[in-house]
Amino acid sequence: MSIKKFAVAVYDDEEVLFPAVKKVRRAGYKIHDVYTPFAVHGLDEAMGLKGTDLHIAGFIYGITGTSTAVGFISWIYCSDWPINYGGKPHFALPAWIPITFELTVLFAAVGMTLTFCYLNQIMPGVKKHVFHPRQSDDMFVMAIEINKHMSEAEVIAFLKSTGAKETSVQVAESSWWYGRWDKKEPYELAAG
């Protein structure tokens, strides 16, 4: 939770955004983040972000589901309450495949979705700063954090030279917080 100053550049085309991201990185500026209305393939690579390990988490959750099902059913049928169904074996693995499969999928899907929400820091009631109201519509927004060693005017001029349609300097909360989307935050009101 900290309020920081950002230089914001708004692009209207992903074909302009890609070279702009490269130029900004080459110039040595640190990109706070890029906001896009849809998944732009290759943007994460262009920004130098690592790939996600979400699918590995999914695999671990899935294995947990498998062992939960097999462990639970075999404990019930072989130890807790063995029942003789027409002389069939107590440890009847083939008959447990459907439930084992379903629990594998269930654990993997639920676990991954929760991990996805946790990593992205999204949840009902969470609020984050929106740099441009059309960043979810048709604009591609790049935010660069301005520290006290940087010249505001210089950064803005540089961003304009990369093809930005609009630029601005915004004071904003850099992280997430709990809040209502229909209310403005104190820092937003102070900025006008």
Partner 1 sequence: MHIKYESFVREPLVDGNKDYHQISEDIVSPIEGKPGRMWYVGFIFSVILLCFGIFSVSWSVYWGLGTWGVNRTIGWGWDITNFVWWIGIGHAGTLISAILLLFRQGWRTGVNRAAEAMTIFAVMCAGQFPIWHMGRVWDGFWVLPLPNSRGPLWPNFDSPLLWDVFAISTYFTVSLLFWYSGLIPDFALIRDRAKTKLRKLLYGFASFGWTGTAKNWQRQEALALVLAGLSTPLVLSVHTIVSFDFATSVIPGWHTTIFPPYFVAGAVFSGFAMVNTLLVVTRKILHLEQYITIGHLEAMNKIILLTGSIVGVAYLTELFISWYSQAWGEMAAFQWRIMGPYWWSYWAMMTCNVVSPQLFWIKKFRRNIPFTFVMSIVVNIGMWFERFVIIVTSTYRDWIPSSWAYYSPQWPEVGFYLGTFGLFFTCYFLFAKYFPVIAVSEIKFILRTSGENYKHKMAHIENQGAEEFYHVVTTHHEDEHHEEVAHH
Shortest Cβ 155–partner 1 spacing (Å): 20
Closest to 10 (Cα-Cα) out of 164, 170, 175, 183 = 164
Nearer to partner 1, 171 or 173 (CB): 173
Shortest Cβ 153–partner 1 spacing (Å): 26
How many angstroms separate the Cα of 9 from the Cα of each of 16, 75, 144?
A: 12, 60, 8
Nearer to partner 1, 153 or 187 (CB): 187
Token pair recorded at residue 136: 């979810």
What lies within 8 Å, CB to CB, of 130 at 6+ separation is: none
Nearer to partner 1, 70 or 169 (CB): 70
Nearer to partner 1, 153 or 177 (CB): 177
Shortest Cβ 1–partner 1 spacing (Å): 14
> Contact at 8 Å (CB) between 64 and 107?
yes
